[in-house]
Amino acid sequence: MRVRYLALPVAGPKATLLSASGILGLIALWFLLPTLGLVKSAFIPTPVDTLGAFWTMLSDGTLLSDGWPSVRRVLLSVSMSAVVGIPIGIAMGAFGRVEAVLKWIIFPFRTAPIVAFIPIFMLIFGIEEEMKVWFLFFGTVVYIIPLTFDAIRAVPHEYVDAAVDYGFSPLGSLWHFIIPAAWPRIFDAIKVCTGIAWTYLVAAEIINVTDGLGKVVQQAQRFQNTPKVWAGILLILLIGNITDFALGKIRERFFNWEV
């Protein structure tokens, strides 16, 4: 007996209906927990209270004054990681000697507690803007390098054989065949690391609170404004998912091939 449902994806209206039912079920649970007293509203406010705080943040300019600094930090740090990390990952994936030198220096940081490095960054860069950006850079570059390495190694050997048949040098093969074939996966690495940057954002922004969505969450927590805490978290989720959606569309438009 073949269990086909394990392999068949759900698409179209059925997928939309299932997704909507899951979201509505979560909202209903969220509403019932504080309303029925199963969880104190001081810990989890109702969706109505949270949306009220969320609307206030949108209408009072918080989205622009604190949302944009967070977006800027994420985009800047991920751009820096791409500029530094992608060439290193390509070199490690293409040249065994580079891999041998760098692999066990860089790869262990994938499982390191990145937030624990904040005090070191404070000692080096102080507590101003530079520390936040460099911390986010560090938190993403240690992932983008291994992901780029994997993207290069995932290119089939037939591409290399074809380059050799056409008379390309090793560097020519890398530039004209291997890197173009790996670009979709490399862009996926950028997309993943953008999401990682959002997960580290609050940790970076609660140091020397000046602006950003981390500031919003921390100040709301300090004054025990739980609806605003949750609204700030929702705003981070919203902007993060918009960023992810935009990068996904860029991926579909410019890197829509697979090897």
Domain range list for the chain: 4-40, 50-254
Which is higher by pLDDT, 206 or 226?
A: 226
Q: What is d(CA 150, CA 85) in angstroms, rounded to the nearest whole number?
A: 13
Superfamily of structural domain 50-254: MetI-like (1.10.3720.10)
Q: What is the largest CA-CA distance in the chain?
A: 73
Q: What is d(CA 222, CA 62) in angstroms, rounded to the nearest whole number?
A: 17
Tens digit of each residue's pLDDT (9 = 90 or more) over 97-140: 999 999 999 999 988 899 999 999 999 999 888 999 999 999 99
Confidence of residue 160 (pLDDT cuts 50, 70, 90): confident
Q: Is the pLDDT of residue 2 over 70?
A: no
pLDDT for 42 equals 81
Q: Is 45 left (phi over 0), alpha (psi -120 to 50) or beta?
A: beta
pLDDT for 11 equals 75
Q: Which two structure tokens, joined as six digits, stand for 69?
A: 């600094």
Can you spell out the DSSP letters for 172-204? HHIIIIIHHHHHHHHHHHHHHHHHHHHHHHHHH
Q: Which two structure tokens, joined as six digits, stand for 65?
A: 């004054």
Helices (H), the chain: 13-35, 47-59, 62, 68-94, 96-106, 118-125, 129-153, 157-165, 170-173, 179-205, 213-222, 226-254
pLDDT for 6 equals 58
pLDDT for 163 equals 79
